Amino acid sequence: MDRDGFIMINSARVSFPHLFTRPTINGEEGKCGAALMLDLRTHKTAIKEIEDDIETLAAERFKKHKLPSDKRCLRDGDDKGRAEYEGFMILSANSKDRPVVIDAKGPGVITNEADSSIYAGCYVNVKIGLWAQDNKYGKRINAELVAIQFAGDGEALDGSYVSVDDAMSGFGTAANDNSDSEEDDFLAA
């Protein structure tokens, strides 16, 4: 954890990014956030830091060191039931408000989803903060997604991402361009 109480993670693979609008899940409004896929080797240090901080926070807040895995924001991907998560640790990080989406080209904030390069399967740099929940919904350790930045392309997880260049490939000027025809004049009236 850095001196501000945050943890930085570089080049994590992102899944289910909901960064600009809250998703609707089973008819209820969810939170902004994402699932972060942490490679067991590449992110070994970050995983250890998160696990240690979870234990410390649980001991301070709940007077015990072990919380069941389903009450922790960091879980074994093999237990999540998704083939793409196997061999990874999955960090669920959400935000009460929108997280800060940082421009990959330098210091700047992206406020419009259309300007963001982040998609399910790409690599991101993130800043998270851990916090203890103790309310009517139970005791658990959660991660807040504070900030996120596109770090590199990866294979799209849901198969729906297509880059602008790939989408535009094969198109030229439309052969039947009727933009000067009288049929379009009804819009001018």
Q: Which of 84, 90, 82 is nearest to 50 (CA)?
A: 90
| Length of the chain, in residues | 189
pLDDT value of position 137? 86
Give the model confidence (pLDDT) of 49-75 as tens digits. 999 999 999 999 888 657 888 899 999
pLDDT value of position 65? 58
Name residue, tokens 């992102």.
Answer: 14
Q: How far apart are CA 125 and CA 34, in angstroms?
A: 12
Q: 0.85 exceeded by the pTM?
A: no
Give the model confidence (pLDDT) of 87-100 as tens digits. 999 999 999 889 99
pLDDT value of position 67? 82
Q: What angle do CA 114, 91, 29 make, to 5 degrees?
A: 55
Q: How far apart are CA 51 and CA 47, in angstroms?
A: 6
Q: Which two three-digit tokens encode residue 103?
A: 């421009």
Query: For 175, what's the count of Cα atoms within 13 Å in the CB-facing half-sphere?
Result: 0
Q: Would you identify the CATH topology of the domain 7-158?
A: OB fold (Dihydrolipoamide Acetyltransferase, E2P) (2.40.50)
- In the predicted model, residues of the chain with pLDDT beneath 50 are 3, 186
Domain coordinates of the chain in residue numbers? 7-158
